[in-house]
Amino acid sequence: MQSDYQGFVPHNLKDIKLNIDSEINALVNKAYLLLGRLDGMAITLPDIDLFVSMYVQKEAVISSQIEGTQASLVDVLQKDKGKEKIKDTEEIVNYIKATHYAFKRLNKMPLCMRLIRETHAVLLSNVRGEEKMPGEFRRSQNWIGHAGSTLKDASFIPPAPDEMDICLGDLERYIHEDSTISNLIKIALIHYQFETIHPFLDGNGRMGRLLIILYLREQGLIEYPVLYLSYFFKKNRNRYYELLNNIRIKGEFEEWIKFFIDGICEISEDAITSIQKIVELKNTDMKKIRELSGSNISNLLLIYDYLLQHPFLEAEDIKNLVGVSKPTANKLLENLMTIEIVELVEDKKRYRQYVYKKYVDILSEGT
């Protein structure tokens, strides 16, 4: 049957001829230096797992916001604290699970289409889009366009399923082929290719952004998932789509590569600054606790560690954590308010909630 549309089939990446000029080389060198500095700082953190956990939550929020979810990082952190459950937070929780799942699987298998499918299944489990074949590449034509658009007025039509399968096979080989170009240029091309192939019925954007961090991890450029381009793409959303389209229409790979690596530099610098701010805040606030007079210091330090994992808390949390009475828990919270570590969020007769606001503010930058 004759169709009245034509899907775009991207070139095999190994056939692309690039003009890598001095500007791109300078950006690549800067990006490698910043990635090395970021990874070095992350490794020296005394509570790296905690920082990574919070950073993955932040990335999950931003990446999901790009896809239209309304939840903020505060909604996720506050979710189990009496706040009405927001459906969008489930998508964010899935993104967090998918990230941890993929990183763990990378220890046992290479970055391949199977791993991407498995991760996608976690990403779309029991949330919006779960009817769209989680963990399976599409077997029908999809398209990109405004809400309610059809194939006839789509802004972009990816390759048909049979052509898509060939493209994915070529992409998987390209991921593992030895190359003369920098791995940072290579992942810029891989991300473009994945988004252009658009192999899933839903979740392609989130999966394509996750693919970046998985490739950097497999290549040994980062040890921990603390570098995400979602914030950069969100902030430069129109430019991001414009440059992807310019590759498809005009073959302008070099401008896209500059944009992508500039993003790696900017986001590395942001992550380094966040780590510095959190370390400084922690040192300052622990000093405040230690300088308090009284016998509650050990309990306050225990609560402080809890706050770093759960920045929203109430007296009941402290009662269970430290094993004290409700009045004593309230007294400990008063101590933390006096030295300006926590502040009151909600003051209701039966429900008082507190937040480690300075910490949440650092984590929430960009969300």
Residues annotated within a binding site:
67, 198, 202-209, 240-241
Closest to 230 measured CA to CA, from 42, 64, 96: 64
Cβ contact 222:41 at 8 Å:
no
CA distance 316 to 265: 43
Q: Tally Cβ neighbours within 10 Å of residue 300.
A: 22
- Rounded to 10 degrees, what is the CA torsion of 157, 159, 162, 166? -160
Written out in words, the top-level CATH class of the domain with range 292-364 is mainly alpha
Task: Give the active site residues.
Answer: 198
Looking at residue 29, what is its pLDDT? 98
For residue 327, give both structure tokens: 């009045």
| Domain extent listing, the chain | 14-272, 292-364
Binding site members for ATP: 67, 198, 202-209, 240-241
Helices (H), 45-86: 48-66, 73-78
pLDDT given at position 89? 77
User: What is the structure's pLDDT at 79?
Assistant: 60
User: Which stretches of the chain drop beneath a pLDDT of 50?
Assistant: 1-2, 81-85
Task: Check residue 130 and give its pLDDT.
Answer: 59
Provide the residue type at 197 as one letter: I
Instruction: Yes or no: say if 285 and 341 are a contact pair by the CB < 8 Å rule.
Output: yes
Q: Quick one: pLDDT at residue 2?
A: 40
**What's the rounded Cα separation, in Å, for the pair 125 and 225?**
22
Q: What is the mean pLDDT of the chain?
A: 89
Token pair 């073959």 in the structure block, residue: 251
Give pLDDT, residue 290.
93
Residue 86: its pLDDT value, please? 57
Per-residue pLDDT, 178: 87
- Which residues, in sequence order, are bridge partners of residue 156? 144
Q: What is the CATH number of domain 14-272?
A: 1.10.3290.10
Residue whose structure tokens are 């005009």: 250
In this prediction, residue 1 carries a pLDDT of 37
- What is the model's pLDDT at position 321? 92
Model pLDDT, residue 332: 94
In this predicted structure, what is the pLDDT of residue 224? 84
Written as six digits, the tokens of 100 are: 């941890």
Write down the pLDDT at residue 118: 97
